[in-house]
A = this chain, B = another copy of it.
Amino acid sequence: MTAKKEQQDSAVDAPFLIELVKTLRAQDTNGSWEGKSDLDLLEPYILNKEKRRTLPIIGGPDPNTLRRLELFFEAVTRSIERETGVIIQPLLKLHAGGFGRIVLIAGRLIAVNKQLRDVHRFGFDNCVKLAQEGDKYVSEGISLIRKFPNVVNY
């Protein structure tokens, strides 16, 4: 096992990243990503500050970026569902200029709420940040669902 391979394995040890990779692989219905490593799949999520700044924020966000955003929150959704056993429905609404809002709904509760801006530049400095951000939403959702079960089951 090479040093590079070891690094890759450790990078996707984080539960949220494992869920995200699973979500991404589920999109690959014709098996064209089989040769890709988990890190290869996560790579488009990584945008450092310089890279981000070069992305134009004129017009609507790139469809691939939008899809990445949706799959990120789908992984959040699945992680919360797995932990709580509650069914979650995401609702994403984008306005002009890369602004918008996404909510993850559990019954009558908004388990996760995120105002979006600069969707064109959706990305993370590195895999650790990606995992942390995902975990943040997952924990928030789980904790709110446990706090207000009567709203979830209303």
Contacts and interface: CB of A to CB of B under 8 A. Distances in A.
Interface residues of A, number: 15
A144 B92 CA distance: 23
Instruction: Tell me how many chains of this kind the complex includes.
Output: 2
A33 interface: no
Contacts of A113: 108
Contacts of A114: none
Nearest to A92: B93
Nearest to A100: B91
A92 B154 CA distance: 21
B108 A105 contact: no
Interface of A: 91-93, 101, 103, 105, 108-110, 113, 144, 148, 150-151, 154
